Structures are given as C-alpha cells and as structure tokens.
Amino acid sequence: IRLAAPGFRFRFHPEFRLRSLLRRRRMAAAAGTARQAGAAPRVGLLYDQRMLAHAPAGKKEKETPERLRAIWRKLAAEGVTSRCVGMRAKVAKEKYIASVHARKHVDLIRKISSKDSSDLKKTAKKFDSVYFSKGSSESAFLAAGSVIEVAEKVAAGELSSAIALVRPPGHHAEHSKPMGFCLFNNVAIAANYLLNERPDLGINKILIVDWDVHHGNGTQNMFYSDPRVLFFSVHRYDYGRFYPYEADASHVFIGDETGRGYNINVPWEHAKCGDADYVAAWDHVLLPVAEAFDPDIILLSAGFDAARGDHMGDCCITPNGYALLLTKLLGFAKGRIVMALEGGYNPESIANSVCACAKVLLGDKFTLNSPEMQPFESTWRVIQMVRDELKTYWPVLSSKLPENVSLRSTPSY
C-alpha cells in the first residue's frame, strides 16, 4: 500500500510519527502471523433483496433500491462476493430496537406498511425528509437486525470484519422519530446490543466512526453521555447551513456528564473536501484519540455521499481515498470493523467506493493517486479548533500541529 501520492506534503509531529510506526509494526506482525498460519480474512458480506422493497413512489427521492443493486453488481463483477462469507438479513427483535428508540416510534415503523398509499404520504409529511412504502416496515426491521447480526459475529471472532449492505440507512434516526431517509438507527441499535445484551463477548468500548457527508445527529444524541462509546463524525457543516441544519453538528458539542470528550465532530466549512482533508482529520484527530481510547470494536457508519461524483455531498473522496481511511482504522480493535451502509446517492460512486473498502478488508493492496493531496486552509483551521476543544480530555491533542504545511485556498462559489 502506498499511503501518499507524489507531492503529498504533510509533515507529521515526531510523537505521532512514532505512534504510527509502532502501530504499523503491530499490524505487520499480526498480518505476518496470519500469513504463516495460512489464514485469510473472513469478511462477512450481508445483502438481502428484501431490503429493496422500501421504495419511493416517485422519481424525486434519492434514497432508492438502485443504490444496493449497483453495489452488488460491482462487487460481483470484481469477484468480491465469492471471496466473502455471504450472509442473509435477520429481523431485529423489538426489544433491541426499543433499547434506543421510543416504543411509540417502534410501533409506528412496525405498522406503517399496513397503511394505504395516501396515509403513507400523510404520515411521511409529519417528519423531516422521509418516505414510507409497503416494504418499509420489513426493510427497517431487517436493516436493524442485519447490523446486529454482523456485529455479533465480528465481536465473537467468527468473522474478522463485515459489511452490512442495508437500507434504509440509520444515523439520522432519533430516539422518537425517523429523519433524513432513516427509520431506525441501525448502528446505535447494534452498539447498544453489544454493550448491554452480550457482555459475554467482552465488548466494553466501541468506536463509532461516521464518515457520511451529513452529521450523524441521531447516533450522537443516543450516546452523548456514555463514555463507553467514542463517537466521531466528520461532515459538512457549512456554519449550520448543511443538512441536518443543526447547531449540535459543531465541534463544540463534545458530550455531556461522564461522556464529555467522547463526542467528536469535525465540521467542514464548505464543499469540495477530498482525500487530503479526510486524511488530515484522521491523522491529527481521530487516530491519536482512538489509540488512547483503545476500542474493542469499530462500527463504521459508512455513508458514501462525500464521494467524488455524488452531487448531494459535493465532496471529492476517491474510492482509494476511502480505502486509505479504512486501512488506517485496521490498526485498532484487532481489525474488528463492521461497515454499515448509510448514505451515498450516486450509484457509480457508491459502488466503486464500497468495492474499494471491501478489497481492503480482504487484504488487497491499492495505490492512492489523488490529484490534489493538499488539505484546504479551512481544514487545518477546523482541525485546530477540534483539538483545542478536546485537548483537556485527550492530552495527546495538546501538541502543536505541523508547521509549513502546503495548503489549498478555500474554494470559491
């Protein structure tokens, strides 16, 4: 793996360079042991056509079944599906969903598909950016159950990692309402299940990484006071002018009570952020904190609407950019990573990006040739603000950022 393209000019702090070296050595040693034993990664891949039944009535909706179909076609064409452990969705038990959602909310989603089309539309209008169809109830329960299923198997060591191709997505869903295409908060349900329903699996600390271009507001709120969950969201914020248009996507929202410091927001100020910006956020915020936190498992809210070509996010992460971000996470939690699909609305972009990530989990090599490997000036400023806000809780963030870094000017509109 070549981690930087020619001309990539980040300069890393000596302490972080040493930590990175030690982590790479641990990863290399683990990989060497696996190769000696002849073991290949057992990567779970969950896909179930029943989740295609959640479908909009018109053409204006962006969250459609074609998202999953495009991903599956790409994975099959690249030979990825045959290399993974195939899995089928399971319906989540209501008691597990009710661990993070209000009973009234669970009842709404369970009953919604029994309504006629006019009632479906009327009900949807009561909420922010959602739609309902005859297949919504089953799809929502399957999506939640699927993430539980793969997370449980990764936590138990039956799989080294897993990808849950689920829809509807989940990270916007709040305790008592659906929101932003999301009906149940799939990742939050799975995290709560591992922490509170399966103590025998030894999962005491969970890192949730949300790289969807939109803030994971629902997940943040569900664990805002819980120090067992380190929640990290990197997203467009645009000073509150980007969906979900809420102030709590700001970097100053860092958790509450015993959870202070365990909620990390990296809020981009504008569009066009790409590989270099996300790598900078990883290297100077996420990775140092993750090393100090030392999670037992990583749940990845894997939205791909920050991908190049996705006009909803209007950002520029390349498929191999996503592959690099994922590679950098493999040094934690013994590589136990669960990817749960969130957003991503350009079928080609999401398919290529998921495929690149799947190949990383399978152990394939890749080369990052990003045309612009310089972060924006605003990125450096945002990262410094995030570090300043959190350094009391994570002393590793107290050191100065590298100086004389080559930066790009803020894009003009």
Residues involved in catalysis: 172
Residue 324 class from Cβ within 10 Å (0-12 exposed, 13-18 middle, 19+ buried)?
buried
Structure tokens, 127: 């909420």
The DSSP 8-state label assigned to residue 11 in this structure reads: -
- Name the pairing type of β-strands 85-87 and 161-164: unpaired
- To which residue do tokens 């932003």 refer? 180
- To which residue do tokens 């950019």 refer? 321
Q: Which residues contact 232 (CB under 8 A, 6 or more apart)?
A: 207, 208, 209, 210, 264, 266, 285, 286, 289, 290
- Where on the phi/psi map is residue 294: left (φ > 0), alpha (ψ -120 to 50), or beta? left
Q: For residue 5, count other CB atoms closer than 10 A to its CB.
A: 16
Strands (E) across 185-344 are located at 206-210, 229-236, 263-268, 297-302, 337-341
Provide the H-helix boundaries in 232-314: 275-281, 287-293
How far is it, in rounded angstroms, from Cα 262 to Cα 207? Answer: 9
What is the per-residue burial (b if ≥16 Cβ within 10 Å, else e) of 94-120?
A: bebbebbbeeebbebbeebbebeeeeb
Amino acid at 186: N
- Where on the phi/psi map is residue 8: left (φ > 0), alpha (ψ -120 to 50), or beta? beta
How far is it, in rounded angstroms, from Cα 321 to Cα 289? Answer: 21
Amino acid at 127: F
